[in-house]
Structure 1
Amino acid sequence: MKQIILLVGMLISMSTQAIWYEAKGQATIVNNDFEQAKSLATQDAVKQLLLYSGASVTSISKVSGGQLTLDQIEVVSKGSLHNLTVLDDGNHGQQYYIILQADVFPATSQCKASGYSKNMLLLPPFLKQQHQARVGQLQELSPAVEQRTYDIARQVGNQFNVKPPPKLPLNYYKPGEHNYKGIKDVADRYGAQYLLGLEIENISLDQVHKPKFINLSYPQRYFVVNARVYNAIDLEEIYNKRFSVNAPWEFDAREVVSPHSAEFWLSAYGETVNATLQQVVTEVDALLACQPLQGSVVKVLGPDRWQINLGKANQLNRGMLLNLIHQNYHWGNWDIPRQEQIMADSMVRIEQVYQESAIVVAVDPSMTANIQLGDLVSKQ
């Protein structure tokens, strides 16, 4: 029995505009089983493409030799993929990768927000086990991963504007503590709608590192990272995924390796870390495609004019209408927020637009007294 439900795949008109996307899937090669790794990597890449199309992916079942058929996808989709082709595949160390390309027909009813870039801030990565950095003297791994993730996000991010890494204390971000007030404060300070936090859980070796003249093979070194995305306006965690990979550690036991150096990033381990960070950014990009664009009223300029923290960088234009939402937070026990949002009776219109801000006026002048600092503006 077919396991795929395509709601409008056959209903898309020929005039619908397709968007060309690439997606990179990855999987760890276990026990030299390349076919299984290829299958899992293919599933991962197809899932990302389906998310771009506005799909809600429940599961992807077995794939034989990386060959995927529609019968093997369980998905409710309001978009579709066409001309699915393989651009490249292979392995870096113990990681198998495949790059797929497809013409994506987005679901206009579900992903109208895909045309707007959301503001995202990368939090300083948290290195959980500091002592594991001793081999190679990788104490600077967190800032190096932060910079590399920022560079990747600038290159491949279609659905967000990544803000430059903030000057926050080392290990400022501590996952699991749910410091919602801290999340909101940082987001407000840097004008971010979303925060991406990385927790590096494990960079240990799978065996005692012996001198090269004794060791017949390189030890495997792990890179386990948990990625979380927070909606800083709704104060909710909207993404939480753990990535676990490993690759040969090709350096001598006592060799000092700077994680900022080309030597590190061109090694098998560095390439595996880089590929994992690319996967994180690609998945987050796909996730944000169908999230609404939201910003805040940040300044009162007069009795009928306000400044918002969105602008040309978010694809806003003069004359565009935005929804206005009144927002309140009620902080309960353990500083857990209870949010209240009320849709205003009137919208606001963009009067002037700059790169990262805009000036808005109320469409209904009688509503001006109700617009306050901290109110939300939204483009669905």
Structure 2
Amino acid sequence: MNKLLNCALSAATWLTLCVSSASYAQWFESTGHANIQNDDISRAKSVAIKDAITQALVFSGARVTSMQTLVDGVLTQDQLKINSHGEIQKIEMISEDRRGDQFAVTLRLDIFPQQEQCPASSFNKFVAITQTQLKHREQAKLGQIFDISKASSENLYKTLSNSPISTRPTAYFNFPIRVGEFFTQQYDYSNALLEEIATRSNSQYVLLSQLVDISNSEKLNNDYAFWQDESYQRAYNIDFVLFDGTTYERLWQKSYRGKGIWPFEKTDRIDVYSENFWGSDYGQTITDINQTLSYDLQAAMACLETQGKILHIENDKLVINLGKAHGIEKGQILNVAHHNYLTDAAGNKMPNMITTLNQVQIQQVYQQSAIAQSIDKQPLPNIQINDVVELANLAL
């Protein structure tokens, strides 16, 4: 493994891939970056290390999921959410560098790749990032941060957009929506709202969230230390739930809990879109939670199927809402399926997908759409607009 071959640079992710001559191991050289907030070099270094490891894992076909501890002299006592298709054998620190308010760390990783990977993971899944709902609006009075719902959702969208993962976000955070019913145990939620969001954002999946607690605790500093600025611990507790916008199934759900120092005066009115806010300990707490969520979401969605809908029918040809951005290529074969519901004895509706014998082949591909033609070049019987198309021969 001392001889390295086939080095290729990816400018988009600052990642250099070096494949060793042995087929059973791969060396990756990856550079992670982080902003330095409040001159906290230690925290910036930790974030940069995690960024470098995440890029290497994703580039190697990894899924960033569960908690492991990496102990190699470099990451002692540091935990990162990884459970990859490749196992990290060794990590070496090559360099670290500070330039202005940016900190960079370059690592060299020895990753043992796992051969099996679900075929669906090679296709991109689009998920609508909706505006989170503040459950207790009165908690936003401190700092007058009533726009925290939109600002934190926008931050999540940017985090997902900048991550080298197959989960692709679409922006739907400009519209406030009521999400409380989606987090109840009765599953009594509106399918119509999910369908509307999925259709308007052209996304197969819909991510909903609610901020359940942003309250502040007692002051951290002493009342007698009148020369000190007031500071508080403030909670940031948020729940997420992922739905399929086609079948309306609840696919994944998780809660995140965090606390950060609120360093502002009680009477200050804080701009939640400002660098002053996001550079604070509390703003960094939100960013860290959103980064963790991006890892978990990638893991939850990696093996989900990429499905599309029929937008237009003309004789033996279809227009579908899948394209290059989803990983669709000319010549691929797709199945056509009908989507309806079955009702159980209690009156609950259950999604039911019926795959037909009809198959189509991709003829023309655009960024967000494609034109497909029936295999036998004959008009497709009993096919309707909004019927589902899915890639054929994707056996897990």
Find the counterpart in structure 1 of residue 285 from structure 2: 272
Map 1:156-175; keep pairs closer than 5 Å: 156-165=163-172, 167-168=174-175, 170-174=176-180, 175=182
The 2-side partners of 1:307 and 1:331 are apart by 31
| Letter in structure 2 aligned against 1:120 | V
SS at structure 2 position matched to 1:199: strand
Cα distance, 1:166–1:205 mapped onto 2, change above 3 Å:
closer
The 1-side partners of 2:331 and 2:255 are apart by 43
Cα distance, 1:64–1:116 mapped onto 2, change above 3 Å:
closer
SS at structure 1 position matched to 2:218: coil
Find the counterpart in structure 1 of residue 102 from structure 2: none
Cα distance, 1:286–1:82 mapped onto 2, change above 3 Å:
farther
Cα drift, residue 22 of structure 1: 9.4
CA contact (8 A) 2:204 2:307 kept: yes
| Letter in structure 2 aligned against 1:223 | Y
Cα distance, 1:245–1:292 mapped onto 2, change above 3 Å:
same
Does 2:367 correspond to 1:355? yes
The 2-side partners of 1:128 and 1:144 are apart by 15
Gaps of 5+ in 1: 1-12, 25-37, 69-74, 90-97
SS at structure 2 position matched to 1:251: coil
CA contact (8 A) 2:216 2:234 kept: yes
The 2-side partners of 1:99 and 1:246 are apart by 30
CA contact (8 A) 1:22 1:49 kept: no
Find the counterpart in structure 2 of residue 14 from structure 1: 23
- Deviations, residues 225-249 of structure 1 (Å, cap 9, x unaligned): 1122212223222221111111111
Map 1:258-269; keep pairs closer than 5 Å: 258-269=271-282
CA contact (8 A) 2:64 2:299 kept: no
Does 2:382 correspond to 1:370? yes
Cα drift, residue 195 of structure 1: 1.1
- Deviations, residues 293-320 of structure 1 (Å, cap 9, x unaligned): 11111221x1111111110111212212
Cα distance, 1:328–1:82 mapped onto 2, change above 3 Å:
farther
| Letter in structure 1 aligned against 2:296 | E
The 1-side partners of 2:106 and 2:249 are apart by 31
Find the counterpart in structure 2 of residue 93 from structure 1: none
Map 1:75-114; keep pairs closer than 5 Å: 80-84=87-91, 109-114=116-121
CA contact (8 A) 1:247 1:272 kept: yes
Find the counterpart in structure 1 of residue 39 from structure 2: none
| Letter in structure 2 aligned against 1:270 | G
| Letter in structure 1 aligned against 2:233 | Q
Find the counterpart in structure 2 of residue 194 from structure 1: 205
> How large is the Cα RMSD of the aligned pairs?
4.1
Cα distance, 1:198–1:151 mapped onto 2, change above 3 Å:
same
The 2-side partners of 1:233 and 1:366 are apart by 27
Cα drift, residue 365 of structure 1: 4.0
CA contact (8 A) 1:117 1:314 kept: yes
The 2-side partners of 1:56 and 1:248 are apart by 28
Cα distance, 1:180–1:215 mapped onto 2, change above 3 Å:
same
- Scaled by the length of structure 1, what TM-score is found? 0.73
Cα drift, residue 126 of structure 1: 1.0
Does 2:145 correspond to 1:134? no
Cα drift, residue 213 of structure 1: 3.0
Cα distance, 1:334–1:209 mapped onto 2, change above 3 Å:
farther
Does 2:196 correspond to 1:185? yes
SS at structure 1 position matched to 2:172: coil
Quote the sequence identity (%): 24
Find the counterpart in structure 2 of residue 150 from structure 1: 157
Cα distance, 1:54–1:213 mapped onto 2, change above 3 Å:
closer
The 1-side partners of 2:345 and 2:271 are apart by 44
- Scaled by the length of structure 2, what TM-score is found? 0.70
CA contact (8 A) 2:205 2:245 kept: yes
The 1-side partners of 2:251 and 2:93 are apart by 30
SS at structure 1 position matched to 2:341: strand
SS at structure 2 position matched to 1:269: helix
Find the counterpart in structure 2 of residue 329 from structure 1: 341
Cα distance, 1:123–1:220 mapped onto 2, change above 3 Å:
same
The 1-side partners of 2:347 and 2:260 are apart by 41
Does 2:353 correspond to 1:341? yes
SS at structure 1 position matched to 2:139: helix
Which of 244, 251, 263 is the equivalent residue of 2:264? 251
| Letter in structure 2 aligned against 1:148 | N
The 1-side partners of 2:88 and 2:196 are apart by 40
| Letter in structure 1 aligned against 2:365 | V
SS at structure 2 position matched to 1:345: strand
Corresponding residue pairs, total: 335
Which of 234, 241, 248 is the equivalent residue of 1:221? 234
CA contact (8 A) 1:249 1:269 kept: yes
CA contact (8 A) 1:127 1:171 kept: no
Cα drift, residue 145 of structure 1: 0.8
CA contact (8 A) 2:231 2:265 kept: no
Name the stretch that deviates more: 366-375 or 350-359. 366-375
CA contact (8 A) 2:234 2:261 kept: yes
| Letter in structure 1 aligned against 2:368 | E
The 2-side partners of 1:217 and 1:139 are apart by 21
The 1-side partners of 2:124 and 2:263 are apart by 40
Cα drift, residue 206 of structure 1: 1.3
Cα distance, 1:331–1:17 mapped onto 2, change above 3 Å:
farther
CA contact (8 A) 1:124 1:197 kept: yes
